[in-house]
Amino acid sequence: MRYDAVIFDMDGTLLDTLIDLKNAVNHVLEQFGYPTRSTAEIRRFLGGGARNLIMRSLPEGSTEEKIDEVLDVYRVYYAEHANDLTAPYPGIVEMLETLKQQGVKLAVASNKPDEQVKSLTQEHFGRWIDHAMGDREGMRCKPHPDMVYEILKPLGAEVSRALYVGDSEFDVQTAINAGMDCAAVTWGFRDRDELEAAGAVCFADTAEELLKIIEG
């Protein structure tokens, strides 16, 4: 089936944000006197939003109060360094250009803070992405389907004609919860076997493969 609209996750799907995220987490961990984390650890910890990332990065047994304290500092630092080394994955820009020319409606739904989602989308994909939405007050984060339903409204798209694209178990579950088809990409923050275990059945190893899936 050819899709009328595509909703993309951001981190690990459209943008390689891993090093900026790792650097921000480690900066804050050092500031609080905690051991830093490797790139592989941060990759594994990602998904589910900033609080989950900080909770997983802190030593086991950290209190809720400490998690919130570190999170507040992390949010400020990362907001200033979210685009230091971040860049689109290979082939993403070309894929978006092709889809835009074909009239496919494109959007981003991410658990990053809404302001950062909109800023990074505008910086890297402003010519192609129609709408972008992130974590904001009154909106439940993925894997709840609320964000997906909300962003389908301005797209004027039906769930049955839309595809959700992501790289993690959170994205697969978001699509399942929303009743949408899902394409799981393997270049992001989870390996294929983890995506399969989450329920993914459609995979793209490259942006070119993803384009063919969208085109039907």
Task: Identify the structural domains of the chain with CATH numbers, from first to last.
Answer: 5-16+87-215 (3.40.50.1000), 18-81 (1.10.150.240)
Q: Is 9 helix (H, G, I), strand (E, B) or coil?
A: coil
pLDDT grade, residue 87 (50/70/90)? Answer: very high
pLDDT digits (tens, 9 = 90+) for 54-83: 999 999 999 999 999 999 999 999 999 999
From CA 2, how far away is CA 111, in angstroms rounded? 27
Per-residue model confidence (pLDDT) at position 130: 87
Summarize the confidence of residues 119-144 as an average pLDDT.
94
Give the type of residue at 37: R
For residue 100, pLDDT beyond 90: yes
pLDDT grade, residue 1 (50/70/90)? Answer: confident
Catalytic residues, which ones? 9
Per-residue model confidence (pLDDT) at position 123: 96
From CA 198, how far away is CA 173, in angstroms rounded? 7
